[in-house]
């Protein structure tokens, strides 16, 4: 079987982490790079990624995440936060990076820059924030696959109160809003969920070929 498919069958949303096991620094570096290289709309990456290592902050976050034990027991916590009202400044910063990375002049990209600014700023604030929040899910997908490849367990979470997480981490002052939490580490041998068969739709039920 293809190793990618093997990894997808191996992974599951871990319910109980072994708090005594920590992810090696070199593996964290790989996971961060997987997030950094993730695809996003127009390549703009309108979000930031917060890695919470401070145990006091993690203790504060646990109630905001409905008391879930993974917040405390996982080796690492990664929080994806979309940029609020991403607009012209973010686009300008992106194309400055493009110019420096590719040794290209901004004049040659002027038409595309104006197109993006017109397209994104035409969105209402709610539409824009919904769009930027969706980009964090693409990054999470890359992280899920990279973690499975390294045999690192990961639990993606939407079960938390964003307003509380924002306040605890000071995200409001940074113009950010928490959209997703990923807890990473190694499954505890007592986590019975790891022995359950994976439940998914059949090919016939899931796919439509036209």
pLDDT in tens, 121-159: 999 999 999 999 999 999 999 999 999 999 999 999 999
Q: Residue 165 — pLDDT band, cuts 50, 70, 90?
A: very high
| Residue 112: per-residue pLDDT | 97
Catalogue the E-assigned strands of the chain: 47-52, 76-83, 153-157, 176-185
Range of the domain at 169: 3-85+131-206
18 in a structural domain: yes
| CATH classification at residue 27 | 3.40.109.10
Q: What is the pLDDT of residue 123?
A: 97
DSSP per residue, 123-168: S-HHHHHHHHHHHHHHHHHHHHHHHHHTT-EEEEE--S-HHHHHHH
- Judge contact between 186 and 33, C-beta under 8 A: no
44-79 confidence digits (pLDDT tens): 999 999 999 999 999 999 999 999 999 999 999 999
Does the residue 152 lie in any domain? yes
Total tally of structural domains belonging to the chain: 1
Among positive and negative, which fits the CA dihedral 2, 182, 84, 162?
positive
92 within a domain of the structure (yes/no): no
Q: What is the mean pLDDT of the chain?
A: 97
Whether residue 63 lies inside any domain: the answer is yes
pLDDT interval class at 2 (50, 70, 90): confident
Beta bridge partner(s), residue 180 = 80
Q: Taking CA 23 as the corner, what is the angle to CA 22 and CA 26, rounded to the nearest 5 degrees?
A: 140
Check residue 188 and give its pLDDT. Answer: 98
Q: What is the pLDDT of residue 1?
A: 59
93 occurs within a structural domain? no
103: in domain? no
Measured between alpha carbons, how far is residue 85 from residues 47, 115, 160 in Å? 11, 17, 22
138: in domain = yes
pLDDT (tens digit, 9 = 90+) per residue, 74-98? 999 999 999 999 999 999 999 999 9
**Could you tell me if residue 96 is inside a domain?**
no
Give, rounded to a whole angstrom, the gap between the first and last alpha carbons of the chain. 28
Mean pLDDT of the region 84-113: 97
């Amino acid at each position: 079987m293809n190793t990618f498919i093997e990894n997808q069958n191996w992974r599951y949303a871990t319910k109980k982490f072994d708090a005594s096991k920590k992810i090696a620094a070199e593996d964290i570096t790989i996971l961060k790079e997987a997030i950094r290289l993730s695809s996003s709309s127009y390549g703009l990456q309108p979000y930031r990624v917060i890695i919470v290592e401070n145990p006091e902050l993690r203790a504060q976050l646990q109630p905001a995440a409905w008391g879930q034990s993974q917040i405390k027991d996982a080796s690492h916590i990664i929080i994806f936060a979309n940029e609020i009202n991403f607009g012209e400044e973010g686009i300008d910063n992106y194309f400055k990076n493009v110019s420096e990375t590719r040794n290209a002049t901004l004049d040659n990209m002027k038409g595309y820059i104006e197109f993006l600014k017109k397209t994104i700023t035409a969105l209402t604030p709610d539409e824009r924030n919904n769009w930027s929040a969706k980009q964090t899910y693409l990054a999470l997908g890359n992280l899920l696959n990279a973690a499975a490849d390294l045999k690192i367990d990961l639990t993606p979470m939407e079960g938390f109160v964003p307003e509380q997480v924002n306040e605890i981490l000071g995200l409001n002052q940074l113009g950010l809003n928490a959209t997703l939490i990923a807890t990473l580490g190694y499954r505890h041998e007592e986590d019975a969920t790891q022995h359950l068969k994976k439940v998914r739709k059949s090919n016939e039920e899931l796919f439509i070929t036209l």
